[in-house]
A and B are shown apart, each in its own frame.
Chain A
Amino acid sequence: MDSSAPTRARLLKRALEDRLAEVRGRHAALAGTPAGLSGPGGSAGPSPSGSAVPSDDAEETLRQVMVRLWPRARSGGGREDWLALFDGLMRLGAAALTDDRRFLDAWNNAFEAFAAADCPVALRADAARFLEAYAALLRAHLARLAGRA
């Protein structure tokens, strides 16, 4: 580990904590209740698997998500486009738990596009599931970073 690694870990941890708070807020707004996602004392989400190497399938899914599904959804995509994006991201769930942060960043990009868009009513249940899964990923990465920062 190089000397700047603790600094990077600290900056990353801070950013992920802020994002998790934002995701919780979005989820609560979507559900129309303050309950939202579990807080710091809640489920830690999926177990971190930092040393695992994403498969070639995951690499191809990432390409499809970032080259086709995400651009389509963010540029005024309809319900079907968002569902296709959420489906692609769910297939990247395991890869997004690894240290290869490109996979988590596909979720980051999707969330940023989602936050900027008007969520159609018909998409609310799927969007809530997306936010729950994203929050679980963020918690898993935060748990791993807690030992590094």
Chain B
Amino acid sequence: MKAVALCAHLDKALVFRRRLAAEPGVELRLVVCSRRWPRQLLRIGAGRLLLVLRLWRRGTLAFARRGLDDRRTLRRLRAFDADVGLHATDVIYRSDTLAAFRLGILNAHIGLLPRYRGRSVMEWSLLQGDPAGVTVFFMDEGIDTGPRIVARREVDLSRFRSVEAAKGHLFSLDVEMYAEALARLREPGFSPSPNGPDGRRHYVMSRLFSGVASRILGCDASPERLD
């Protein structure tokens, strides 16, 4: 299976490489999509710079200074003839970009779909007393509305004492979850589960409710702090 990690940062691209390059049955390419990639390159350090140059020469790593929906970038993406894109940028994809991959682009969303779409979903899960977790699904042009869910994992956050730390942990699971999703896609007869219509779009949570979510997390970690 040919996969392309679409990354906003070179550092992240190297995390993808470390975790997925040796994955059996996966041919991985890395694309760093940023106007600032030359600056990122300068900051990466001598040791990793050699690795980056090696990957670039082999054609495993490419840099895209223009947007992903730019005509020339799209032509390069299509030339990869990839099955799957792995989302690690901060952009919303247009249909042309999504269609540049045979199966589509996967997104590791830090909420459990179909229920928790949109923003601040980890905090909303805490506020509602629902499990938190990560869902990997094929994106469409909507906000977490892509209809095919490939992997979904509930994550216990009780050891975290702050929303930031808990959220950081969920974000850090993305490459691991992509590995799981790619393994599933390679299973014979695998069929994604539907991202049903029950979900609701969530929005940026207020400071008031974020504070409550944070205290709920703190209480989970140390019940004596309740009183």
A-to-B contact residues, CB < 8 Å = 2, 4-5, 7-8, 10-12, 15-16, 19, 59, 62-63, 66-67, 100-102, 105-106, 108-109, 111-112
Contacts and interface: CB of A to CB of B under 8 A. Distances in A.
B226 interface: yes
Contacts of B59: none
B189 interface: no
B215 A109 contact: no
Contacts, number: 58
What is the size category of the interface that chain B forms with chain A? 20 to 34
Contacts of A12: 127, 212
Q: Is the interface of B mostly helix, strand, loop or mixed?
A: helix
Nearest to B219: A7
Contacts of A59: 200-201
Interface centre among B201, B208, B216 (most CB of A within 10 A): B208
Given A12-B127, A102-B200, 10 more contacts: A8-B216, A11-B215, A11-B216, A15-B211, A16-B208, A62-B203, A101-B128, A101-B209, A105-B208, A105-B209
Contacts of B128: 101
Contacts of B215: 11
Contact of A105 (B129, B200, B205, B220): B205
Interface in B124-170: 124, 127-129
A112 B203 contact: no
A109 B204 contact: yes
A11 B124 CA distance: 14
Contacts of B124: 102
25 contacts: A4-B219, A7-B219, A8-B127, A8-B212, A10-B226, A11-B212, A11-B215, A11-B216, A15-B208, A16-B208, A19-B208, A59-B200, A59-B201, A66-B203, A67-B203, A101-B127, A102-B200, A102-B203, A105-B203, A108-B206, A108-B208, A109-B204, A111-B206, A112-B206, A112-B207
B202 interface: yes
Contacts of B209: 15, 101, 105, 108
Interface centre among B127, B205, B206, B215 (most CB of A within 10 A): B206
Contact of B206 (A4, A100, A105): A105
Contact of A106 (B127, B203, B216, B219): B203
Contacts of A111: 206
Contacts of B204: 66, 109
Nearest to B226: A7
A12 B46 CA distance: 51
A5 B129 CA distance: 7
A46 B124 CA distance: 25
Contacts of B211: 15
A111 to B, nearest CB: 8
A11 B212 CA distance: 6
